[in-house]
Amino acid sequence: MLEKYLDIKPEIKKALEEGKAVVALESTIISHGMPYPRNVETALNVEQIIRDNGAIPATIAIMDGKLKVGLSKDEIESLGKSSDAIKCSRRDIPFILAKKLDGATTVASTMLIASMAGIKVFATGGIGGVHRGAQETFDISADLQELAHTDVAVVCAGAKSILDIGLTLEYLETQGVPVVGFGTDELPAFYTSKSGFGVDYRVDTPEELAEALKTKWDLGIEGGVVVANPIPPEYEMDPAVIDSAISEAVKEADLKGIKGKESTPFLLAKVKEITGGSSLDSNIQLVYNNAVLGAKIAVELSKLK
């Protein structure tokens, strides 16, 4: 039944059948995370970085009534130019499919579709989490529940700094999701390497991390792992500058009543505007950095199989 909906690119299907390394990539970053043409350029560069590091990229989206695992260059270009692609989380998938609309996948839906295809490693920018003021709004990203139940490792630069990072970590702990720092004892905060919050475990090599992932899933302990990979130091933003920009963006979002799935794209765009574009440059570089690590982890995990 799943084959009716799941369209896996032949190159990716062959790699999975042969036990080779594959890395999933989301598509919301293309349609909602960056302006054209930087979005398309970044997506294609990320795919090439993954290839350069020994793995096969699998950019995921919903197009033509199918869950697409692996996009062509033309499909990425089309998604990057489209103003109609719907930001698609777990709850949206059946409706986007049934209506044959274009859907750009979030962290949660990318994890779910990657798992359907048999992909265990996913590289992205930052995970969603508990939004500031969630004690009143209950605005909590579906990414966190997906991490609790879906067996995919998510390589990211920590939680987006527009969030309440402390509450996000508390939520992940409650759900039994390990937060692992790659080469760090402190959770990175997307644009900066420091958040003031610790991680559950530190690992320093892709081999060590792959061994832990295999052990977790061999034991039947369901759920993903957050692999927190700090932004390279040369691309970090000044914490005071980025914190000020985020505070201003959050205030404007509150005034305009922007909530739910629209809040993250609005806040990221507003922070980019306030910082004169420097936040976008940092965003792109951290995604590239995560792609490198994601590929290396996938390669090591494939060796253990």
Catalytically active residues are: 26, 160
Structure tokens at 4: 């009716």
Nearest Cα to Cα of residue 59 among 294, 273, 305: 294
> How many other CB atoms are found less than 10 A from the CB of residue 138?
9
Nearest Cα to Cα of residue 31 among 5, 6, 60: 60
**Separation CA 122–CA 157 (nearest Å):** 12
The per-residue DSSP string of 196-265 comes to S-B-SEEE-SHHHHHHHHHHHHHTT--S-EEEE-PPPGGGPPPHHHHHHHHHHHHHHHHHHT--GGGHHH
**Separation CA 2–CA 79 (nearest Å):** 24
Sequence letter at residue 191:
Y
- Are the C-beta atoms of 157 and 129 separated by less than 8 Å? no
**Separation CA 181–CA 230 (nearest Å):** 8
The percent helix, strand, coil of the chain (3-state, each to 5) is 50, 20, 30
Omega within 30 of 0 (cis) for the link into 265: no
